[in-house]
A and B are shown apart, each in its own frame.
Chain A
């Protein structure tokens, strides 16, 4: 299973699930806390953590972008809906945007990964690349 190109979706679901579980607990016990919203920068943050997990657990994978789009759209739509962080219509929007955003960053991250796959720098390069992607997403969201 670890070599499957869709293992990435499992890591995405786990990361998102953990984040939403923590948010649910915070919402329950500290209701006045300001919770992060599911906007593009935070979607990218969840996505790059999932990509890093996949990279360090399996060494990464290639291709399967149609499947990644569909499955990540399901994760971005269904999980916030299940945790009552989104209404059905909002969940549809999250699914479309989340699926698109995640597919694009998966493609960019993997392209970077291939180019930094040798030498001692290879161990830390994915983390730096992920950080760069997150910062770029913040700038992009600001432009929007």
Chain B
């Protein structure tokens, strides 16, 4: 029994230290999170200073929240990657053009999918696209961003990350969903709500 007591006490002591630290820092953490979130949205959608959270009532399960700025939207998306969900913030102008994107959270494989976090060459391909983005891998047409519109005339192809096709497609799906929200396009057919 004595043998177990010391490890048990060490677990409990460390738990108390963690709880105390987190509790003491909670106000600072909350303030910093709000400040950083606003700063990030301003970076993703240049020209917008203030954002209002808009209720999302659509059926696209990839969209988590919508923040409306003066000249566009910052949309939080969540899609399934290779090893878990990938959460992103995507800035889309009122004209339906992607002006900024950032990965907020992911748990992809180190050295492969996780490279998406810092692979600026890959991420920058999505800038200025207007939706219907598809991933091209190995010189062939890989399936698109799974919007169901592979092969359409309006598709924009971007190069996927080597060894991380699933992750690349998940990011493309996020971008397509975000743009579709702004343009009113149906992500299943590519058609717009006004019949375009």
- Asked if A136 is at the interface of the complex by the 8 Å CB criterion, the answer is no
Which residues of chain A from 1 to 30 have a CB within 8 Å of any chain B CB?
Answer: 1, 4-10, 13-14, 16-17, 20-21, 24-25, 27-30
Contact partners of A8 in chain B: CB under 8 A: 7
Binary contact track B4-22/A, C-beta < 8 Å → 1, others 0: 1011101110111111011
The minimal Cβ–Cβ distance linking B27 to chain A, given in whole angstroms, is 10
Instruction: Tell me whether A39 is interfacial, beta carbon within 8 Å.
Output: yes
The distance from the CB of B45 to the nearest CB of chain A, in whole angstroms, is: 15
Q: Which of A67, A79, A138 contacts B18 (CB 8 A)?
A: A79
What total of chain B residues lie within 8 Å of the partner, measured CB to CB? 36
With A17-B18, A27-B29, A28-B25: A34-B105 Cβ-Cβ less than 8 Å? yes
Q: Complex: how many Å from CA A6 to CA B14?
A: 16
Inter-chain contact B4/A28, CB cutoff 8 Å: no
Known A4-B6, A17-B18, A24-B25; contact A32-B11, beta-carbon cutoff 8 A:
no
Measured CB to CB, the nearest residue on chain B to A81 is B15
CB distance from B171 to the nearest CB of A (A): 14
Q: Which of A5, A31, A35, A74 has the most CB of B within 10 A?
A: A31
Chain B neighbourhood of A4, CB < 8 A: 3, 6-7
The answer to the question of A131 belonging to the interface, with a C-beta cut-off of 8 Å to chain B, is: no
Is A141 an interface residue, CB under 8 A from the partner? yes
Residues of B within 8 A of A35 (CB): 105
Closest to B9 in A: A10
Once the chains bind, are A29 and B15 in contact (CB under 8 Å)?
no
Interface size, A (range) = 35 or more
Interface residue? A57 (CB, 8 A): no
Q: Is the CB of B21 within 8 A of A34?
A: no
Most A CB contacts (10 A, CB to CB) among B22, B84, B117 go to: B22
Q: Is A78 an interface residue (CB 8 A)?
A: yes
Assuming the contacts A34-B117, A142-B82, asked whether A20 and B18 have C-beta atoms less than 8 A apart, the reply is: yes
Instruction: Tell me whether B110 is interfacial, beta carbon within 8 Å.
Output: yes
Q: In the assembled complex, which residues on chain B have CB atoms less than 8 Å from the CB atom of A7?
A: 7
Q: Give the nearest-CB partner of A67 in chain B.
A: B4
Cβ–Cβ < 8 Å partners of B110 in chain A: 41, 138
With known contacts A6-B4, A32-B40, A74–B28 Cβ distance under 8 A: no
Chain A facing B: main interface SS: helix
Q: Is A51 an interface residue (CB 8 A)?
A: no
Is the Cβ of B84 less than 8 Å from the Cβ of A39? yes
B106 at the interface (CB under 8 A from A): yes
Contacting B15 at CB < 8 Å: which of A39, A78, A138, A142? A78
Point out residues on B near A: beta carbons under 8 Å.
3-4, 6-8, 10-12, 14-19, 21-22, 25, 28-29, 32-33, 36-37, 40, 82-84, 102-107, 109-110, 117
13 A-B pairs whose Cβ atoms sit less than 8 Å apart in the complex: A6-B6, A10-B10, A13-B14, A17-B18, A27-B29, A28-B25, A28-B32, A29-B32, A32-B36, A39-B107, A71-B8, A74-B8, A83-B18
Known: A6-B3, A138-B110. 9 other contacts (CB 8 A): A10-B6, A21-B17, A21-B18, A31-B32, A31-B36, A35-B105, A82-B15, A82-B18, A83-B19
